[in-house]
Chains A and B, each alone.
Chain A
Amino acid sequence: DQQVKQNSPSLSVQEGRISILNCDYTNSMFDYFLWYKKYPAEGPTFLISISSIKDKNEDGRFTVFLNKSAKHLSLHIVPSQPGDSAVYFCAATLGFKTIFGAGTRLFVKA
């Protein structure tokens, strides 16, 4: 039962352009949504989150958009940098439980 889905396993973007990573969910009761970033041989690190009552949250080059009617969220990275190349996990929380998507590998080409 995949409640959080990241349908694109990988994404390739040119340095300086926008990266858009997408995530869909099925449970309308999720209260928070998060993005984590993971480099090889390291654990995931928290990047940005958004409450289910908001539709946008911005932190520097990173912006998360939430469309509750479509049960969809996206992470925008502008401008993309080679150091952003990593696996990005979307996650959703319901009370004390956090559920992760399968991840999208982002390649930022110099």
Chain B
Amino acid sequence: EAGVAQSPRYKIIEKRQSVAFWCNPISGHATLYWYQQILGQGPKLLIQFQNNGVVDDSQLPKDRFSAERLKGVDSTLKIQPAKLEDSAVYLCASSLIGGSGRAGGNTIYFGEGSWLTVV
């Protein structure tokens, strides 16, 4: 079974530039998540989709971050304009249902992450 695919793996941009990350979840997974992980911290949820609808985007800085999940499959996360504090790993994840934590169907599966450095 193919895992969560993300690209690009690494990106270096200057502040005020824009960047986009792409994610392809595990086939059949209805829920897709974008997490931001800053060095030394745990993953922080930015946005959660159920199929192609947004379930939670309360921690997404909407003045500069946007995300979409067209057709309920692939997703893109965009940052424009980037700030120095956006340097982090952006983790895409998916689950079958909605993350209630039961081993098996509701487990969250993570991609390898997209490493962003803003200089």
Residues of A near any B CB (own CB < 8 A): 4, 6, 9, 31-34, 36, 41-46, 48-49, 51, 89, 91-93, 95-103
Near A by CB (< 8 A), chain B positions 50-79 give 50, 55-56
Residues of B near any A CB (own CB < 8 A): 4, 31, 35, 40-45, 48, 50, 55-56, 91, 93, 98-103, 107-113
A80 to B118, CA, bound (A): 38
A96 touches B101 (CB 8 A): no
A96 touches B112 (CB 8 A): no
Interface of A (DSSP majority class): strand
Query: CB-nearest residue of chain A relative to B44?
Result: A100
| Known interface pairs A43-B113, A100-B42, A102-B41; A49-B48 also in contact (CB < 8 Å) | no
A32 to B100, CA, bound (A): 7
Across the interface, which residues of B come within 8 angstroms of A51, CB to CB?
101-102
